Amino acid sequence: MGEDGRLAAVVALAQGMAAAHTPRESWRAAALGACRALAGSFAALSVWERELGRLRVLVNVGERTRGEEEFPGDEAYPVHQFPEITEFLHERWVAGGEPNAWVETAEGPAAGHPGYIHQRVAALRRRGRGCCVVAPVVLNGRAWGELYVARAAGAPVFDRGDADFATVLASVVAAGLAQSERLEEARRLAFTDALTGLANRRAVDVRLEEAIERHRRDGVVVSLVVCDLNGLKRVNDTRGHAVGDRLLERFGSVLSLCGAMLPGALSARLGGDEFCLLVVGSAADDVVKAADELCRRAGELELGEGVACGVASTGDPIGAVRSARRLFRLADAAQYRAKAMRADRPVVAGREGPDDPVVRLADEPFGEGVAERRRFRGRPT
């Protein structure tokens, strides 16, 4: 490949990673781009997990052999089997060296350093590959992992020029990974409540819309638990907002703990003293059981005055739920009723007979509903 071809390959790799929407897409774009640029038959991207002392494969692309999954769940190798990850990929940088790529063949060492790595050679032979080029990936000045590209047995062996080009590709991959991590952090912050670390209202809105679509299409049970933390204003007024924040954080932990009783539940702070659990796929009774535990634990907190909790589930007799807004109104109405009754257990929409007051409230025109909710809170209309 000439200089123009290599430049085009670098641009294509960078564009592929820039277009990725998730870390997985970014990893795949990196490996595919490098594989094509180096005319390889297979490529992998791996990360060095220092705390676990292992090199974990994130993605495998190209001609995979038996046991090589595209996104492996547990393909990892102890770094002592690949000493260059800690020696060559770290110590040489500290000494002022460069993280240059090198080549291994099924017959032994080839271009570059650090030299013969028998585990890699054995792997090449076992998988019917003739050679590989290994390029360190450096992110923020530290060894992040490696880019690995292989060719099939019988194909031309990588040379020094290929190793140098792999070094360039690895730096492009590192830049793409840094951008991907920044975007992922921005997404996380956009959907996370800063005080409690729970999901925020935006995250709930997005997930609830998706969940209701699954309910309409496949009949999946969707449940929403809406909670109002009692006594927060009193705590803020008498003990200060720092203590009030501690109450919010503490209740957030309790909510997360109870949400863990329900597979895949999303624990969120809607704002102020309002929280919720969004549950998809669990039976309504299981959700009510978790909400009951939530009320019990909230009542035992050293701060605050417990929680008013409302539950609405498509698994209960609440009528057709065709929109996220209706399920939210039902759960919200149940929570208001719990608040008015000073209930220490959750109020569940649809469980008080044909003329269920929560369902009736939720389905009233908005203006009337507001007045009714004020009555629930014990306020004049």
**pLDDT above 60 (res 89):** no
pLDDT (0 to 100) of residue 101: 86
Please, which pLDDT band fits residue 286 given cuts at 50, 70 and 90?
very high
Q: Could you give phi then psi for residue 95, rounded to 5 degrees?
A: -80, 5
Helix (H) or strand (E) holding 149: strand 142-152
Where are any strands of DSSP class E within the chain? 42-49, 54-62, 76-78, 102-105, 108-109, 129-139, 142-152, 222-229, 266-271, 274-280, 307-313, 347-348
pLDDT (0 to 100) of residue 61: 96
Please, which pLDDT band fits residue 84 given cuts at 50, 70 and 90?
low
Contact of 92 with 145, CB cutoff 8 Å:
no
pTM over 0.85: no
Q: What is the pLDDT of residues 323-368, one digit of tens each?
A: 999 999 999 999 999 999 999 999 999 998 888 899 988 887 754 4
Token digits of residue 72: 């492996």
CA distance 320 to 187: 33
Omega before residue 365 within 30° of 0, cis: no
Contact of 60 with 123, CB cutoff 8 Å:
no
CA distance 202 to 311: 20
CA distance 107 to 122: 9
- Report the amino acid identity of residue 119: Q
> What share of the chain has pLDDT > 70, as a percent?
87
Ranges 40-54, 90-104, 243-257: which has the least confidence: 90-104
CA distance 169 to 147: 9
Please, which pLDDT band fits residue 110 given cuts at 50, 70 and 90?
low
Question: Which one has a higher pLDDT value, 300 or 95?
Answer: 300
Q: Could you give phi then psi for residue 54, rounded to 5 degrees?
A: -145, 160
Please, which pLDDT band fits residue 99 given cuts at 50, 70 and 90?
low
pLDDT (0 to 100) of residue 167: 92
Q: What is the pLDDT of residues 27-36, one digit of tens each?
A: 999 999 999 9
CA distance 247 to 253: 10
Q: What is the mean pLDDT of residues 95-120?
A: 67
Helix (H) or strand (E) holding 14: helix 3-18
Q: Which residue has the tokens 């796929």?
A: 281
Where are any strands of DSSP class E within 230-282? 266-271, 274-280
CA distance 141 to 79: 19
Contact of 177 with 26, CB cutoff 8 Å:
yes
Q: What is the pLDDT of residues 139-177, one digit of tens each?
A: 887 778 899 999 999 999 999 999 999 999 999 999 999
Average pLDDT over all residues of the chain: 86
Helix (H) or strand (E) holding 333: helix 324-341
pLDDT (0 to 100) of residue 323: 93
pLDDT (0 to 100) of residue 93: 45
Q: What is the pLDDT of residues 180-217, one digit of tens each?
A: 888 777 777 788 888 988 999 999 999 999 999 999 99
Please, which pLDDT band fits residue 115 given cuts at 50, 70 and 90?
low
Residues 144-167 as b or e (16 or more Cβ within 10 Å = b) = bbbbbbbbeeeeebbeeebbbbbb
> What share of the chain has pLDDT > 90, as a percent?
61
CA 312 to the chain's CA centroid: 26
